[in-house]
């Protein structure tokens, strides 16, 4: 199954920046998010509602969320580790809330200090919170199956555990689940296999997005495998910023610029202006001068005669 258009969800302002040593100034974040939206990104994960003591890079997430909500047509996504974070996210007006449940319970405890049972309890409470939100303000609630392709702390996670976690998240009230290759252990065959397995227990309509890393250079290959399985939403980070603080060696998200180029070259519309997207790198470089940005497309430039894809019908 293939689609003529896909949704690119930019996670750099959250997953990217939380892994940087320096803190990007709030005004620079606003310029970057505004420029990303102007380039055609329709969904941006702008931050996470966590303790500033743990992640000072995310201390301005409430302000950033409120700012992003002023951008017409932008889906403002955030990550929350628990009910308290979800309450703050709803108050700030987030359009999409993601609660991570690491299928590796060791990583779950390391990452958000929760057992599987405790995350499910939080999921139930968040679902109730979301359901009680006023008309027009109800955020979409996603449960993320983190470390789904393996864990640097536990190694491979049994498929039966992954499927049970997916079922429990949906039963707790999530609108959908997403797959996350937190550690960059995935390969195209594993991506295909796990998408089919999870959809077998939650339904195809309840698994539409995937979060992939490029730790071992398989990011785009894994994206293509997921696309061929009918996945329509792909997380990525400008310049490949990011990784996972609590999974040793899990460096590098898929580079947004390379991801957009691949799809557009294939004739699959992303709605993103590549040149405008690449121009936003200068905002990041100026705000974080010591941070390395990756990507083949920004370095090589667009091919002579390159034409972006066009897709008929409404956006994904």
Tens digit of each residue's pLDDT (9 = 90 or more) over 4-17: 999 999 999 999 99
Calculate the CA dihedral of residues 151, 152, 156, 160 and round it to 10 degrees.
-30
Percent of the chain with pLDDT strictly greater than 90: 83
Among the listed residues 151, 165, 174, 244, the single catalytic one is: 244
pLDDT, residue 248, reads 47
Taking the C-alpha atoms of residue 314 and residue 165, their distance in angstroms, rounded to an integer, is 33
pLDDT at 294 over 60: yes
pLDDT at 98 over 90: yes
pLDDT at 299 over 70: yes
pLDDT, residue 149, reads 96
pLDDT, residue 78, reads 98
- Residue 152: HSE in the Cβ half-sphere, 13 Å Cα cutoff: 16
pLDDT at 65 over 70: yes
CA 157 to chain centre: 21
Considering the segment(s) 7-300 as one domain, its CATH architecture is Alpha-Beta Barrel (3.20)
pLDDT at 57 over 80: yes
Whose structure tokens read 């009680």?
132
pTM here is 0.94
- Cβ–Cβ under 8 Å, residues 41 and 260: no
pLDDT at 313 over 60: no
For 315, residues 6+ apart whose C-beta sits below 8 A from its C-beta are 5, 7, 42, 271
Percent of the chain with pLDDT strictly greater than 70: 95
pLDDT at 61 over 50: yes
pLDDT-derived band at 27 (thresholds 50, 70, 90) equals very high
**165 is a catalytic site residue:** no
pLDDT, residue 247, reads 44
pLDDT-derived band at 270 (thresholds 50, 70, 90) equals very high
Q: Is beta strand 176-180 parallel, antiparallel or unpaired with respect to 209-211? A: parallel
Taking the C-alpha atoms of residue 38 and residue 15, their distance in angstroms, rounded to an integer, is 21
pLDDT, residue 3, reads 84
pLDDT, residue 160, reads 97
pLDDT, residue 249, reads 46
């Amino acid at each position: 199954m293939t689609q003529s258009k896909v949704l690119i969800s930019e996670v750099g302002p959250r997953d990217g920046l939380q892994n940087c040593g320096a803190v990007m100034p709030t005004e620079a974040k606003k310029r970057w998010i505004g420029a990303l939206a102007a380039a055609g990104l329709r969904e941006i994960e702008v931050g996470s509602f966590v303790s500033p003591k743990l992640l000072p890079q995310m201390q301005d997430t409430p302000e950033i969320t409120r700012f992003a909500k002023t951008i017409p047509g932008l889906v403002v996504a955030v990550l929350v580790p628990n009910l308290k974070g979800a309450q703050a996210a709803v108050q700030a007006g987030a359009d999409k809330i993601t609660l991570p449940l690491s299928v590796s319970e060791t990583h779950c405890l390391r990452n958000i200090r929760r057992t599987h049972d405790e995350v499910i309890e939080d999921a139930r409470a968040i679902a109730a919170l979301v359901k009680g939100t006023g008309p027009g303000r109800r955020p979409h609630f996603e449960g993320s199956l983190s470390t789904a392709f393996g864990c640097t702390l536990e190694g491979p996670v049994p498929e039966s555990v992954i499927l049970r976690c997916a079922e429990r998240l949906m039963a707790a009230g999530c609108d959908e689940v997403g797959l996350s290759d937190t550690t960059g252990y995935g390969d195209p065959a594993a991506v295909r296999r796990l998408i089919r397995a999870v959809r077998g227990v939650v339904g195809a309509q309840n698994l539409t997005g995937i979060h992939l890393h490029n730790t071992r250079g398989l990011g785009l290959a894994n994206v293509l495998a997921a696309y061929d399985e009918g996945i329509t939403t792909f997380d990525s980070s400008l310049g490949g910023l990011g990784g996972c603080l609590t999974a040793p060696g899990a460096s590098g998200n898929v580079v947004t610029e390379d991801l957009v180029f691949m799809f557009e070259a294939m004739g699959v519309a992303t709605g993103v202006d590549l040149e405008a997207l690449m121009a936003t790198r200068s905002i990041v470089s100026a705000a974080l001068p010591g941070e390395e940005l990756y990507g083949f497309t920004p370095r090589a430039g667009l091919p002579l005669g390159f034409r972006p894809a066009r897709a008929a019908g409404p956006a994904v």
